[in-house]
Amino acid sequence: MRPELSAAIRPGRLLTFLRFFLAPFAVGAIAVLGFAPFQFYFIPPVTLTALLLIWLRCRTLKSAAAVGFAFGAGLFLAGVSWVYVSLHVYGGMEVPVAAFFTLLFCLFLACYPALVCAVLLRLRASTPVKLMLLFPALWAIAEWVRSWLLTGFPWLSIGYSQAPASPLASYAPLLGVYGVSLVTAAVAGAAASAIDGFALRRSLPRPLPGFIAGVCVAGALVITGAALKFHHWTQPVPGKPTSVTLLQGNIPQELKWRPERAVATLETYLELARSSDSKLIVLPETALPMLNVDIPSGYLKALADLAVRNGGDILYGVPELDPSGSYYNSVMSIGTGPAQTYRKVHLVPFGDYFPLRPLLGWIMKLLHIPMSDFSHGAPVQNPLQVAGQKIAANICYEDVFGEEIIRQLPEATMLANFTNDAWWGDSVASRQHLQMAQMRALETGRPMLRATNTGVTAIIDPDGRIVAAAPEFTTTRVSGEVRGHQGSTPYIVFGNAGFLVLALAMLLVPPIVARVVRTR
């Protein structure tokens, strides 16, 4: 190739790289600012709008997929690379291996936006229809699939960025978090349509239909969301609120399971509990670092006496060995009410159990995670009836699966999450997890109690707002008066079916209408 021709091609390749990879990668990374702990909820709609404006310049499936993949790579590498902390610092993986698996994991997640952008290019429809109907539906469905495929990882679903302050968060009781993602993507699509229509207008005497429709759709969705904030789907339970104390032991993860530290851990939680006179005292996931059958009887008696003194109950996380020989990650009650147990259903792969042992058993040799061979609890379990309330218990990251939480509703009057986020170290992960718990409160119209080992321990009201919270990495407690709620939101009744029906309608209606128009 002649040198002058080669020189002419290189700038074009550089421009293509900047436009179809570097720009969307940067936009995806910026989108993380919309999530906790930053919570600039307006940023994700803006970044999705920017993604679509870049996508509009794509002419091939390859370029469209590259744009979506780059956006996803930026989003997940910036937002969930804390997985490295779990693998290396606490899982014992060597640095190169942990870094490789973290990169591979984030790039796998980036395939979802890539698929959305590629499929969107293939669909036949006008640009405004693609942006305002097809894109939101595809994006939300992709997030929903990501929430259950290969046991699911719904972290950084766009809908979570809107909880709790955004007007769009008000769609959560109706359609759940993926419905909020759909609406957020629809606002972005409408904005992109308006911007594209305005740019194409040039010398036309009036705005293009895409501009008018985009402005109207975006405005209508935001205004409707703001109006929905004034509607309450559930009602407080009659009577006095319940006094609650949540304990945060702040036991370092590297010391949590050492036998020589067990007595100190038990004493820490007992002293914290003794400093409270609340009717309901809640300890975190596996707060007592030994099998339930090995807990000293005198310790359990001390907890029971304390609960009876306060006229209520104590809930504590503990590994449970049942008579059949199975192990469970459980929450147990002790106090004035009968003894009850909740067993974790949705286990963390490689953390709570090892999937596909014959195929993936070699990974076990790279990780050194104690208590990682639990059995699954029953899919449907009754709420725990303690301290005059019915508690829908969930353990660790079970609270990121909204449709699993509603299995105990509408009977339950409160939600309670028992977790140990120490696995993520001093990263943004614990705040992201807290924001997902806020979304569960919004979806169900129930207060959420979060008892954690190192943070963030918090009381969340039915509107998803944090009433009280403890600073991370401190040994402390959070106390407050919490009123249970009753009734059903549409999400409790229909789960994700409501959002799925809407998304499928948005995908199917445009081609049906176009076919009818062509036949006339």
Active site residues: 285, 344, 396
Provide φ and ψ at 241, rounded to 5°. Answer: -70, 160
Q: Provide the residue count of the chain.
A: 520
3-state helix, strand, coil in the chain (%, to 5): 55, 15, 30
Whether 105 contacts 91, CB under 8 Å? no
Whether 130 contacts 176, CB under 8 Å? no
- For 252, other C-beta atoms within 10 Å of its C-beta total 12
Torsion sign over Cα 82, 86, 90, 94: negative
Query: Alpha helix locations (H) across 318-445?
Result: 357-366, 402-405, 429-444
DSSP string, 181-228: HHHHHHHHHHHHHHHHHHHHHTT-SS--HHHHHHHHHHHHHHHHHHHH
Angle subtended at Cα 80 by Cα 282 and Cα 137, rounded to the nearest 5 degrees: 100
- For 227, other C-beta atoms within 10 Å of its C-beta total 11
- Write the burial class of residue 228 (CB in 10 Å: 0-12 exposed, 13-18 middle, 19+ buried): middle
